[in-house]
Amino acid sequence: MWAIFWQSENFKKIAAEKLEGLKKVSGYTQFRLIGGFVLLLVALLICLNTIPLMYFRDVLASEKERALRAKAMMISSSLAPLSRLSGDSVLQVLDILDLEPDSRTVVSNEDAVSVYDNLGGSRGKLMLFPELLSALDKNEVFRGKYEGGVFYSKLAVPIFSSGKIVGTVYLSEKDEEMSKIISTIQGRFFIISLAVCALAIFLAIVMSRGYWNRMRNLSAAISLVRDGDYEHRIHLEGRDELKMLANEFNELTERLQET
């Protein structure tokens, strides 16, 4: 008899530990779901505030490159009849073109010496801009970057005359208007991302309400059995992890009741 009693008490102790383990598992499941949802929201915020913005930056940079290239090619083709570039001859041609002073325009000869600068600061000086030097090697070079709220762009193309390079056209521009567009787009995407996250949280609360109710029922049932109510049973619908826990819980309570 004492052996049976001891086995019964020992089984109840083991069962109590098992029930406590089930409760911890249910708590871990809740923590895992919340953690996964938070990570999903963080990933969503990062994607919404980086990928579209990078795309629009690339689009705006391509548009800026197209505009600068068209301007540079027009200057280059207009200077092509000149076999040798000089400050006076280049100035006469560019006066005829009547270009908008929206960018710095530098024209160099084949030795990378500036013969024209619409800002007047580099005329007669050796130009060591990487883009300009690359253009002397028959390359068309464009570089753009967004830094400190300003979009900087540089472009250089060679000038050919009778099949030979006689100089280069170098354009550089600082565009604050484009930076305002990028900042506006960034602000709108941030607002959209917040709205999407708010909607996601609302839908998650609505959709998970039933799940949390099942979790609470399971946790309450475990507490009741742990306090000695071995006749209590729990009934959960579904085929998920909680259903498996409920079945194991009912098996344990049946065995506890038998002992």
Instruction: Specify the pLDDT at position 133.
Output: 94
Q: Are 104 and 75 in contact (CB under 8 A)?
A: no
Instruction: Specify the pLDDT at position 240.
Output: 63
192 and 117 in a single domain? The answer is no
Domain residues for the domain of 115 are 66-176
170 and 91 in a single domain? The answer is yes
Residue where a domain terminates, one of 154, 176, 198: 176
169 and 188 in a single domain? The answer is no
Interhelix angle for 2-79 vs 241-258, to 10°? Answer: 170
pTM, whole model, 2 decimals? 0.60
| CB contact burial 21-30 (16+ within 10 A = b; e otherwise) | ebbebbeebb
Instruction: Specify the pLDDT at position 5.
Output: 34
Classify residue 59: in a domain, yes or no.
no
The CATH number covering residue 99 comes to 3.30.450.20
CA 42/CA 58 separation, integer angstroms = 24
Q: Are 150 and 183 in contact (CB under 8 A)?
A: no
CA 47/CA 42 separation, integer angstroms = 9
Q: How many Å from the N-terminal Cα to the C-terminal Cα in the chain?
A: 13
Q: How many domains does the chain have?
A: 2
Instruction: Specify the pLDDT at position 205.
Output: 72
Classify residue 61: in a domain, yes or no.
no
Residue where a domain terminates, one of 159, 176, 193: 176
Classify residue 166: in a domain, yes or no.
yes
214 and 145 in a single domain? The answer is no
**Pick from 121, 150, 144: nearest CA to 58:** 144
User: With 0-12 CB in 10 A as exposed, 13-18 as middle and 19+ as buried, what is 210?
Assistant: exposed
Instruction: Specify the pLDDT at position 66.
Output: 92
- DSSP H helices in the chain: 2-79, 87-97, 130-135, 176-226, 241-258
Distance from the Cα of residue 171 to its chain's centroid? 31
Question: Strand, helix or coil at 227?
Answer: coil
Instruction: Specify the pLDDT at position 31.
Output: 58
Tens of pLDDT, residues 87-120: 889 989 988 887 777 789 999 999 999 999 988 7
Positions in the chain whose pLDDT score sits under 50: 1-9, 11-12, 15
Strands 150-161 and 164-175: what pairing? antiparallel
